[in-house]
Amino acid sequence: MKRSETIAIMAILKEAYPMYYKDKTKDELSITVNLWTEMFTDDDFNLVKAAVKSFIADDVKGFPPVIGQIKESLNMITQPEQMTELEAWNFVNKTIGNSTYHVKEEYEKLPSILQRVVGSPSQLRE
């Protein structure tokens, strides 16, 4: 993200949290913009903007986000939700139960990550 884009993000935050930013000096705002620019230099502006707006929409405390909160929101936007260990085991267990006669077909229904963990269709029978 470029400095000009960071300034646009800060404008959104300033509008959403006017009381927090009302007494900030130009030097303080410049330091904030520099830090945010550095911390989000490798991130896409539109994704950061979406993460900031998502934070604002869900905020019930009335305080602007810190960088880590926006980074976490970015990860949620860009990384698909992963299944828990219990969900993965339940998925494999169900597949084992259904694989008596059609083991290859049942194996192919597994998500690719679970196929790598299981190894091969024959593992579902053993």
- Residue 98 is encoded by which pair of tokens? 């259904």
Predicted pLDDT of residue 45: 97
> Within this chain, do residues 27 and 56 fall inside the same structural domain, yes or no?
yes
- Tens of pLDDT, residue by residue, the chain (126 residues): 999 999 999 999 999 999 999 999 999 999 999 999 999 999 999 999 999 999 999 999 999 999 999 999 999 888 877 788 898 999 899 988 888 888 888 889 888 889 899 999 888 877
> Within this chain, do residues 99 and 37 fall inside the same structural domain, yes or no?
no
Q: At a CB cut-off of 8 Å and minimum separation 6, what does 37 contact?
A: 1, 2, 3, 6
CA distance 14 to 36: 14
Type of residue at 39: M
> Within this chain, do residues 64 and 108 fall inside the same structural domain, yes or no?
no
Q: Which domain covers residue 108, as residue numbers?
A: 85-124
Q: What are the C-alpha distances in Å from 89 to residues 84, 85, 99, 118, 124?
A: 9, 6, 15, 11, 12
